[in-house]
Structure 1
Amino acid sequence: MTTPVLDIRDVTKVYGDGDMAVHALRGVSLTVERGDYVAIMGASGSGKSTLMNIIGCLDVPSGGRYLLDGLDVGGLDERRLAILRNRKLGFVFQSFNLIPRMTAQANVELPLAYGGVKKDDRRRRALAALAEVGLDDRVGHEPNELSGGQQQRVAVARALVTAPTMVLADEPTGALDSTSTTELLAVFDRLNLAGRTIVVITHENEVAAHAKRVIRLVDGRIVEDRRTSGVSAPPPRLAWAKEGAR
């Protein structure tokens, strides 16, 4: 049997102490296998953002264990956590998080630079990633020269360019119009067909409908974990996504 990408065991998260304590997660257990496409849903205060931060190694649980690709995250220091995030996770956030005064190409190259990839390889893979999200004619543009939808697609290209073990997207369509949302979800569909593992945090049914599995949180607990039929997608054209950062 292959090692799960995510293996979360009885994870809790408590903020504060005593009467002021807030129990954001109350014993969450979750396994995500390679190639799965999971949507995590829940209302405000359900714990889904806290779970996303723990999955993304941006926060640590108060209790329980979290294994990412078989590695116990709880035993890692900050330096090793940063290396793990760069090699294993591709983040997509609602707010884009692009670097001002850097071109689209330079923004996409950034995680490859951190990973020690050579300049020529960085350029080739960044251009291929931008072409995949439909921005091959915007490679030299800075964020303030791009629309919101274009900025998010640059952020998606940046997340994908390292060929991560898992793509972790937090409300990725929250700031997008309907056309940009459709385009982004088509990219996710193709990635998943190519074997990529995707976890999306969302409150939108349209986004969750593309996933193969929907998990719903209420008051820090999983109350629903069901398989879906997902949405059919076009054939993958993602040869660049299989290379991986070295």
Structure 2
Amino acid sequence: MSQPAPGIRPVIELRGVRKTYGKGEATVHALAGVDLIVPTGDYVAIMGASGSGKSTLLNIVGCLDPATEGEYFLDGVNVAEQRPKQLARVRNHKIGFVFQSFNLIPRFNALSNVELPMSYAGLRKGERRRRALSALATVGLADRVKHLPTELSGGQQQRVAIARALVTEPALLLADEPTGNLDSKSTAEVLAILDNLNAAGRTIVIITHERDVAEHARRVLHMVDGKIVHEEHNNSARHAVGVAR
């Protein structure tokens, strides 16, 4: 398990995390004691077959599901000590989510979709607009701000979703199979954006079953039966310079 440099607080720190579903003979040990440290600025890919525990791990890291045992600190916050409203604020401010299915609101244009999480964060309209326009420019969609999701390609929709994940300036960008519904060209565009975000200092954790996608990360963790069984360090991780438009 990688250790953070002295003086650098990890964004993610899991200590002996277990997750159990069911009781008696129906008990399922989805996570069987996971220790994980992700320092600020790291880029980690998590791989594993169906049932390996990677989705359960993502749900716990994303504060969507509590651990049965163990401790989880997110950017220094002990998640288990947070009340529901506090935990909702932690999710909104500290985690940016990117999903395989984009999860955009069909009746909202790109700008309104990106502004949405800031409404929950209580930011004023002018600040929401400024941040949303900046995030859309970052992902190469400054000329698509008024387009509805149905007027955008799959790759463009995912780029809107990435922009939406960035506007609250989260400590962690958490991506669940972000290229799973994309063609090869759109996949390359999305991965170039993630590469650039990480090169600029953004901490990223990505769940993927695609080796080519995982190779963009600095570390690749392999899960089997609820455990991290192997870790690879990718010293040649690619970091793109341009964003396709």
Runs of 4+ in 1 over 3 A off after TM superposition: 234-237
Correspondence 1:209 to 2:208 = no
Offset at 1:154?
Answer: 0.8
> Are the equivalent residues in 2 in contact too, given 1:133–1:157 (CA < 8 A)?
yes
User: For residues 116 and 57 of structure 1, do their structure 2 counterparts lie closer, same or farther at Cα, with a shift above 3 Å needed?
Assistant: same
Correspondence 1:180 to 2:186: yes
Amino acid at match of 2:158: Q
Alignment check: 8 A CA contact 1:193 1:236 kept: no
Question: Which residue does 2:91 correspond to in 1?
Answer: 85
Gaps of 5+ in 1: 238-246
Structure 1 partner of 2:80: 74
* 8 Å Cα contact 1:43/1:218 also seen in 2: yes
Match of 1:166 in 2: 172
- The letter for the 2-side match of 1:163 is E
What's the TM-score, normalizing by structure 1?
0.93
Identity %: 61
How large is the RMSD of aligned CA atoms in angstroms? 1.3
After TM superposition, the score normalised by the length of structure 2 is 0.93
Q: Distance in 2 between matches of 1:230 and 1:158?
A: 29
Runs of at least 5 residues in structure 2 that lack an aligned partner in the other structure: 1-6
User: For residues 165-205 of structure 1, what are the alpha-carbon distances to aligned partners after superposition, in whole Å with 9 as ceiling and x for unaligned?
Assistant: 01000000000111111111111111111111000011111
Residue 98 of structure 1 deviates from its aligned partner by: 0.8
Give the drift of 1:236: 8.3
| Distance in structure 2 (CA, Å) of the matches to 1:127 and 1:13 | 40
Q: d(CA) in 1 for partners of 2:140 and 2:21?
A: 42
SS in 2 for 1:4: coil
- Residue 230 of structure 1 and its aligned partner are, at CA, apart by 3.8
Query: What does residue range 149-164 of structure 1 map to in structure 2 within 5 Å?
Result: 149-164=155-170
Q: C-alpha separation between the residues in 2 aligned to 1:118 and 1:236?
A: 31
Q: Report the counterpart of residue 141 of structure 1 in structure 2.
A: 147
Partner of 2:119: 113
